[in-house]
């Protein structure tokens, strides 16, 4: 340690130390000279002899300096300074390389910051966020319904593989007094929830054991809710709020970054699960083993693998299946990393992000190829300098290191630009607001991991594009380098190879860009099968309404039905509202529509290998009219107050085509677990889960017989006037059910656009990236051709002197370039096509994309090679011959 300190002190004063050393060696020499003179030598001879005795003092000094071990740093600093000067000597070229690298690194870092948020740190605001696992019972049909409160309590102490098993369930609450109710999203949690997550309150405290009971209902609220609703006032502690007509004491504020344990859903308040029957009077969810709504989470104990934990969990679940066949028959067990939560849209999200990252890495590779080519071009002009260095004794390793320093500086400059771009991109994403049934909060930052990622990418790029020029220059014959006119040994093949490779990589990215863009354009141009404009959507949820809860926790159907009937009657009288209806699902939602499980169509024998599948949406009469989905046959549902007509269904044309074929659909019966339904009508197909999807069968069931607790009120009005009727809808709801809050008020158009976010963002990115990449590719090709032409200028002069026309020369050069590019492009198409078929099985193969994009790239390549070729051909042959 002390030694290191002495080294550092020496380094700090190394200029002084070197002067000292020089002085004392000169002193030594002078004494030696005097000694020799005393022995009778002449002054002149003595001076020479003394110098010989001391040998090469410069080297002696260097060796003495080397002892302190700082030579590498001195060299590195000298290299860096020299590299900076070299880089700045060709500002345009350096700017292009740094900028293109920066963009490549920037988009990669931005995508990485999203992956980091979703996969590496899926639980925001806790320590070790990637260590949490979901403990998921899996039903016979393969769904993940969660566990019941009783089941959780049984499992909690039995599972030895986990540190602390905690559970939570989402619940909407109506917060506020009387008419002032607003919807807030909360979590019912087990008493060990916060300790299991390792959380400490930002303010106040968490529950004491006695508070987990209903005697003194106490809530913990989120930091954001505290800031928004209570202005961040610390006096809020021990104050009360009213939720679902119950008085709750606020006892703690959660730390700022924590937003709950349902991925990106943003929660406002946390309540002990034991309060469920207080908050939702009549519910039996705390006792009924079959009511599965809790998600279980935990960290694994040290040294326990996921597989071992899953095996243990499976054992217990098998035992439960024997003990409680009614609720647990056929149930399996799975332990999943938290980010793979099997509910919600994140499954596609994670894959989508990985695909995006892959594409961006290919883009970066293309950019690196480009940079390598540009730097090779510059390296060629420097071979004489390098030759001189080698001739005066620099080792090849030393020269290669000098060149790598240059690449590294360019790479790190690219990283810096990239980080700036990533910061801009993540803040742009932060400003995107979501309105969805559950509030969503998605924040990504450029943190140290993203920074590290960017620096690593920059370094990797430097190695990738710096190796070729460094090797080329440091290798080879010194004599050849020094000989005028020869330049470097022919590297044309390497440069052409790089050019072809770059073209192929660029093409893959451009194809991806075109596909993303096309998929987004589809969403704007394709007819969804319903009329998007002029519909206002308003969410409501009767789940928090006191006094109408059945023992299974659901709302009394009669109550739901009468609410819908009264509300719609009222709304239809409002001037400006053409029609109104309620639907349990809104099409093109990011969560997709629910499936109708195990149904049977009258007169059809089901193929057991591929069971019939259909989506389901629960709607009131008038829904199809409000959405402007035309009926192809039959009629709409019977009115809500009709009590005689049997339960009805409306199916779409795809349903008929698949399951009824040429028979008469109207009047046919559908049997399902929900009952028996008579088909009243056939609706035209429309899009349900995604714009551009192949037709999917759907069954609409009527609120008249199947009322739902929650849904969206659909109101049709004049396009553009949607938000004007929003207050009318609010008023009507308040009149029918005092204090019931509405939420997520938006137009149908906004709803669709919001849910297209994950198509829109990549489309926007690629709209900018695509042309930029083309531009960089053009610069790369231009530089390669210009360089090739410059080297062949004598040959061209000879050809032209022998009678070749300018046209011949240009055609020759452009043709040669295009041949190289075409090989790369062909390879690119092949790879892109193979990947596309695997990633999007059965996806449409758009010839305008798969042929048009390569055509554009070739056109750009032709233009980029035509320019330098043209200039060469314009030279006077005599002048051309005189060069060199």
Partner 1 sequence: MNVSRESPDLLPGTLDLLILGALAHGSKHGYGIAEHLKTLSADVLQVGESSLYPALQRLLLNDWVQAEWGLSENNRRARYYTLTASGRKQLRTERGEFDKMILAIQKVLHAT
Give me the residues that bind partner 1 (CB under 8 A), please. 2-3, 6-7, 10, 20-21, 23-25, 27-28, 30-32, 53-57, 59-61, 63-68
CA distances for 853 relative to 759, 770, 822, 832, angstroms: 20, 10, 13, 12
Beta carbon of residue 28, minimum distance to partner 1 (angstroms, whole number): 5
- Tokens 């369930």, residue? 169
Beta carbon of residue 89, minimum distance to partner 1 (angstroms, whole number): 37
Beta carbon of residue 9, minimum distance to partner 1 (angstroms, whole number): 11
The nearer residue to partner 1, 7 or 289, going by C-beta atoms, is: 7
Of the candidates 520, 577, 599, the one whose C-alpha atom is nearest the C-alpha of residue 731 is 577
Q: How many whole angstroms separate alpha carbon 176 and alpha carbon 182?
A: 6
Of the candidates 783, 797, 802, 781, the one whose C-alpha atom is nearest the C-alpha of residue 872 is 797
The nearer residue to partner 1, 70 or 434, going by C-beta atoms, is: 70
Contact in structure between 579 and 625 (CB atoms under 8 Å): yes
The nearer residue to partner 1, 60 or 749, going by C-beta atoms, is: 60
Q: How many whole angstroms separate alpha carbon 185 and alpha carbon 70?
A: 61
Beta carbon of residue 53, minimum distance to partner 1 (angstroms, whole number): 6
Q: How many whole angstroms separate alpha carbon 299 and alpha carbon 185?
A: 25
Stated length of the chain: 884
Looking from the CA of 485 toward its CB, the CA atoms found within 13 Å total 6
Beta carbon of residue 59, minimum distance to partner 1 (angstroms, whole number): 7
Beta carbon of residue 254, minimum distance to partner 1 (angstroms, whole number): 56
CA distances for 499 relative to 351, 445, 602, angstroms: 31, 36, 63
Judged on CB neighbours under 10 Å (0-12, 13-18, 19+), 790 is middle
The sign one gets for the Cα dihedral 389, 390, 394, 398 is positive
The nearer residue to partner 1, 63 or 693, going by C-beta atoms, is: 63
Of the candidates 173, 133, 171, 132, the one whose C-alpha atom is nearest the C-alpha of residue 149 is 171
The nearer residue to partner 1, 28 or 591, going by C-beta atoms, is: 28
The nearer residue to partner 1, 65 or 600, going by C-beta atoms, is: 65
Beta carbon of residue 50, minimum distance to partner 1 (angstroms, whole number): 9
The nearer residue to partner 1, 35 or 164, going by C-beta atoms, is: 35
The nearer residue to partner 1, 66 or 606, going by C-beta atoms, is: 66
The residues facing 221 across adjacent strands are 253, 269
Beta carbon of residue 20, minimum distance to partner 1 (angstroms, whole number): 7
Beta carbon of residue 78, minimum distance to partner 1 (angstroms, whole number): 21
Beta carbon of residue 14, minimum distance to partner 1 (angstroms, whole number): 12
Q: Who's near 854: CB < 8 A, 6+ residues apart?
A: 507, 825, 828, 829
Enter the DSSP assignment of 689. S
Q: How many whole angstroms separate alpha carbon 585 and alpha carbon 710?
A: 9
316 phi/psi in degrees, rounded to 5: -65, -40
Which helix (H) or strand (E) is 396 found in, with range? helix 396-430
Beta carbon of residue 7, minimum distance to partner 1 (angstroms, whole number): 7
The nearer residue to partner 1, 21 or 862, going by C-beta atoms, is: 21
181 phi/psi in degrees, rounded to 5: -60, 140
3-state secondary structure 3-39: HHHHHHHHHHCHHHHHHHHHHHHHHHHHHHHHHHHHC
The sign one gets for the Cα dihedral 126, 128, 134, 135 is negative
End-to-end CA distance of the chain: 60
- Tokens 């090779």, residue? 376
The nearer residue to partner 1, 44 or 59, going by C-beta atoms, is: 59
Of the candidates 156, 280, 173, the one whose C-alpha atom is nearest the C-alpha of residue 222 is 173
Beta carbon of residue 3, minimum distance to partner 1 (angstroms, whole number): 7
Q: Which two tokens stand for residue 797?
A: 């002069």
The nearer residue to partner 1, 21 or 632, going by C-beta atoms, is: 21
Beta carbon of residue 21, minimum distance to partner 1 (angstroms, whole number): 7
The nearer residue to partner 1, 40 or 55, going by C-beta atoms, is: 55
Q: How many whole angstroms separate alpha carbon 137 and alpha carbon 191?
A: 21
Q: How many whole angstroms separate alpha carbon 434 and alpha carbon 441?
A: 8
The nearer residue to partner 1, 34 or 664, going by C-beta atoms, is: 34
Q: Which two tokens stand for residue 724?
A: 């004007």
Beta carbon of residue 63, minimum distance to partner 1 (angstroms, whole number): 4
Q: Who's near 814: CB < 8 A, 6+ residues apart?
A: 862, 865, 866, 869
The nearer residue to partner 1, 11 or 441, going by C-beta atoms, is: 11
The nearer residue to partner 1, 3 or 322, going by C-beta atoms, is: 3
The sign one gets for the Cα dihedral 840, 844, 848, 850 is positive
Beta carbon of residue 11, minimum distance to partner 1 (angstroms, whole number): 12
Of the candidates 636, 743, 619, 748, the one whose C-alpha atom is nearest the C-alpha of residue 682 is 636
The nearer residue to partner 1, 64 or 558, going by C-beta atoms, is: 64
The nearer residue to partner 1, 63 or 287, going by C-beta atoms, is: 63
CA distances for 484 relative to 218, 366, 382, 384, 798, angstroms: 87, 34, 12, 8, 20
Q: How many whole angstroms separate alpha carbon 382 and alpha carbon 80?
A: 17
The nearer residue to partner 1, 56 or 676, going by C-beta atoms, is: 56
Which helix (H) or strand (E) is 269 found in, with range? strand 269-272
Which helix (H) or strand (E) is 174 found in, with range? strand 166-175
Beta carbon of residue 390, minimum distance to partner 1 (angstroms, whole number): 23
Beta carbon of residue 879, minimum distance to partner 1 (angstroms, whole number): 56
Beta carbon of residue 32, minimum distance to partner 1 (angstroms, whole number): 7
The sign one gets for the Cα dihedral 384, 388, 393, 399 is negative
Contact in structure between 94 and 375 (CB atoms under 8 Å): no
């Amino acid at each position: 340690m002390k030694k290191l300190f002495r080294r550092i002190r020496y380094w700090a004063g190394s200029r002084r130390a070197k002067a000292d050393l020089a002085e004392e060696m000169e002193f030594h020499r002078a004494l030696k000279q005097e000694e020799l003179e005393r022995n009778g030598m002449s002054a002149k001879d003595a001076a020479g002899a003394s110098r010989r005795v001391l040998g090469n003092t410069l080297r002696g000094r260097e060796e003495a300096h080397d002892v302190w071990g700082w030579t590498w740093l001195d060299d590195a600093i000298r290299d860096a300074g020299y590299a900076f000067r070299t880089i700045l000597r060709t500002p345009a070229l350096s700017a292009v390389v740094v900028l293109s690298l920066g963009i490549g690194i920037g988009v990669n870092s931005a995508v990485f910051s999203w992956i980091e948020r979703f996969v590496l740190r899926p639980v925001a605001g806790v320590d070790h966020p990637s260590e949490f696992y979901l403990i998921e019972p899996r039903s016979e049909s393969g769904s993940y319904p969660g566990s019941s409160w009783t089941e959780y309590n049984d499992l909690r102490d039995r599972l030895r593989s986990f540190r602390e098993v905690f559970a939570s369930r989402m619940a909407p609450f109506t917060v506020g007094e009387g008419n002032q109710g607003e919807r807030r999203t909360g979590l019912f949690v087990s008493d060990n929830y916060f300790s299991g997550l390792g959380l400490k309150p930002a303010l106040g405290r968490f529950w004491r054991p006695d508070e987990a009971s209903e005697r003194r209902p106490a809530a913990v609220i989120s930091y954001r809710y505290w800031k928004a609703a209570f202005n961040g006032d610390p006096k809020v502690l021990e104050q009360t709020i009213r939720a679902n007509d119950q008085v709750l004491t606020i006892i703690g504020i959660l730390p700022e970054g924590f937003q709950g344990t349902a991925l990106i859903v943003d929660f406002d308040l946390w309540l002990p699960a034991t309060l469920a029957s207080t908050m939702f009077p009549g519910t039996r969810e705390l006792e009924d083993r079959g009511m599965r709504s809790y998600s279980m989470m935990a960290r694994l104990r040290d040294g326990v693998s996921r597989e071992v934990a899953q095996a243990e969990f499976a054992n217990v679940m098998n035992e439960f299946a024997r003990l409680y066949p009614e609720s647990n028959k056929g149930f399996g067990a799975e332990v999943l990393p938290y980010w793979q939560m099997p509910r919600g849209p994140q499954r596609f999200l994670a894959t989508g992000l990985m695909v995006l990252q892959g594409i961006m890495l290919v883009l970066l590779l293309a950019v690196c190829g480009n940079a390598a080519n540009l730097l090779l071009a510059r390296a060629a002009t420097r071979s004489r300098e390098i030759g001189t260095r080698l001739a005066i004794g620099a080792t090849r390793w030393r020269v290669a290191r000098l060149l790598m320093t240059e690449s590294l500086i360019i790479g790190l400059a690219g990283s810096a630009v990239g980080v700036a771009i990533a910061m801009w991109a993540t803040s742009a994403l932060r400003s995107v607001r979501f309105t969805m049934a559950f509030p969503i909060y998605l924040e990504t930052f450029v943190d140290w991991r993203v920074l590290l990622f960017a620096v690593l990418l920059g370094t990797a790029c430097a190695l990738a594009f710096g190796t070729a020029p460094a090797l080329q220059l440091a290798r080879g014959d010194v004599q050849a380098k020094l000989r005028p006119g020869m330049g470097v040994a022919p590297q044309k093949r390497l440069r052409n190879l790089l050019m072809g490779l770059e073209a192929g990589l660029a093409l893959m990215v451009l194809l991806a860009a075109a596909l993303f863009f096309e998929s987004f354009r589809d969403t704007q141009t394709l007819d969804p099968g319903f009329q998007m404009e002029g519909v206002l959507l308003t969410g409501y949820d009767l789940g928090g309404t006191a006094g109408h809860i059945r023992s299974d926790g659901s709302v009394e159907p009669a109550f739901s039905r009468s609410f819908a009937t009264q509300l719609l009657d009222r709304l239809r009288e409002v001037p400006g509202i053409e029609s109104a209806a309620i639907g349990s699902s809104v099409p093109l939602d990011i969560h997709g529509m629910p499936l109708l499980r195990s149904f049977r169509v009258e007169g059809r024998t089901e193929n057991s290998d591929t069971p019939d599948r259909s989506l389901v949406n629960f709607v009131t009469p008038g829904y199809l009219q409000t959405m402007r989905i035309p009926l192809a046959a039959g009629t709409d549902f019977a009115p809500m107050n009709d009590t005689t007509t049997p339960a009805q269904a409306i199916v779409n044309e795809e349903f008929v085509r698949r399951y009824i074929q040429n028979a008469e659909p109207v009047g046919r019966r559908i049997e399902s677990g929900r009952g028996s339904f008579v088909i009243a009508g056939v609706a035209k197909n429309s899009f349900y889960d995604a714009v551009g999807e192949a037709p999917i069968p759907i069954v609409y069931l009527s609120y008249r017989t199947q009322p739902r607790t929650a849904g969206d009120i659909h109101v049709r009005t004049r396009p553009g006037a949607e938000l004007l009727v929003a207050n009318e809808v609010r008023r009507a709801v308040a009149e029918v059910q005092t204090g019931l809050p509405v939420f997520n008020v938006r137009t149908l158009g906004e709803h669709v656009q919001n849910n297209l976010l994950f198509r829109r963002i990549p489309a926007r990115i690629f709209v900018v990236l695509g042309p930029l990449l083309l531009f960089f590719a053009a610069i790369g090709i231009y530089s390669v051709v210009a360089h090739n032409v410059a080297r062949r200028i004598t040959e061209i002069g000879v050809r032209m002197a022998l009678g070749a026309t300018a046209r011949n020369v240009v055609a020759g050069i452009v043709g040669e370039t295009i041949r190289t590019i075409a090989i790369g492009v062909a390879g690119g198409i092949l790879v892109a096509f193979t990947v596309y078929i695997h990633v999007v099985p059965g996806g449409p193969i758009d010839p305008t994309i798969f042929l048009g994009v390569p055509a554009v790239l070739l056109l750009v390549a032709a233009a980029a090679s035509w320019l330098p070729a043209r200039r060469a051909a314009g030279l006077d042959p005599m002048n051309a011959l005189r060069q060199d």
